[in-house]
Amino acid sequence: MDDFKRYSRQMLFSPIGEVGQKKFSQSRALIVGMGALGTAIANHLVRAGFGYIRIIDRDYVEKSNLQRQMLFDEEDVAAALPKTVAAKNKLTKMNSAVEIEAITADVNPSNITEFIASMDFVMDGTDNFSTRFLLNDACFKNKIPFVYGGAVSSRGMTALFVPDETPCLRCFIQGGEGTTGETCDTIGVISPIVDIIASYQVTEIMKYIAGDHEKLHRSLMTMDIWHNHSYAMKFASPKKDCPTCQTNEYPSLKTGVMHDITSLCGRETIQIQLESHFDLKEWADKLEKTTKVKETPFLLKAQLEEGERLVLFPDGRVLVQGTEDRGRAKALYARYIGM
């Protein structure tokens, strides 16, 4: 019980109590995305005492993140730290009893099964529907609760989807991998809506893990906190032809869905992955002959004379920053990395 002293006020809340707190401490969570939602979710879960948290993100900290991504600061920007590394540094200081596993990677059909293995639930901290549908399919195939969340502008949406108990994300949102939609990088976002949606996501999974299932919202909640709108679409029966929760096709898990070249919407960035590994030191030596190179333990930046920038990661990914033209990104990649 001494270990639980920090949670005393949480345990005084009768729906949680000592029993619920022990369940939290034994739970294993996966958070995909360490941006605005992901950092707020992680903050709540770590402070609440969830025992094991795996965090995954493919990006590094930039100054524009600081307005809404609560675990980062200017030192992280200066060091160009991967978001997972910077987040783990902060989270470990909050609660050393929680085990944090930080993975810098791009989640895709080839690795999602490995990432969700042994997890009790998955939290959506992503910013695109392609990845959300991937998480949705993987969770329903593996019978793992999926807590969806999205925030943009002053609007937000969230729902807890439980295999064999509720419909899935595809039953509500059509379009699958072809959905682009609006993002915080194209129309902006205010920080309060992020905090609110993340809080709803965490509250629902707390109810679920504590066993208070009668209090689950069982709806897709939407709100606009600037224009004072809110709506809850109550769960009905799943769509009869849903390829995820009814016909078990799981379209996002098919390897053909994965793309080697991905546009990061609104960021003038193209991600290219044609390799499985980069030796950063080796590439620093190669690129410094023709580019201005900045090397960190986690990534390598190369400023090109053409104006764009390459960012290389050890897992074989390259971000081509400064263009939204896939053809130009491929040309620059071929020129400096090779095809």
Q: Would you name the residues annotated as active-site residues?
A: 184
* φ, ψ dihedrals at 58, nearest 5°: -100, -5
SS (H, E, C) 184-236: HHHHCECHHHHHHHHHHHHHHHHHHHHCCHHHCCCEEEEEECCCCEEEEEECC
Task: Report the C-alpha gap between 16 and 50 in whole angstroms.
Answer: 13
Other C-beta atoms lying within 10 Å of the C-beta of residue 258: 18
Q: Print burial letters for 60-94: b (CB count within 10 Å at least 16), e (below 16).
A: bbeeebeebbbbbeeebbeebbbbbbbbbbbbeee
- CA-based R_g, the chain, Å: 20
Which amino acid is residue 324, in one-letter code? Answer: E
Task: Report the C-alpha gap between 264 and 207 in whole angstroms.
Answer: 34
How far is the CA of 44 from the CAs of 51, 248, 322, in angstroms? 12, 33, 35
Burial level of 164, CB count in 10 A (0-12/13-18/19+)? exposed
Q: Which long-range contacts (CB under 8 A, 24 or more apart) does 96-100 make?
A: 97/3, 97/25, 97/49, 97/51, 98/45, 98/46, 98/49, 98/50, 98/51, 98/52, 98/53, 99/51, 99/52, 99/53, 100/46, 100/53, 100/55
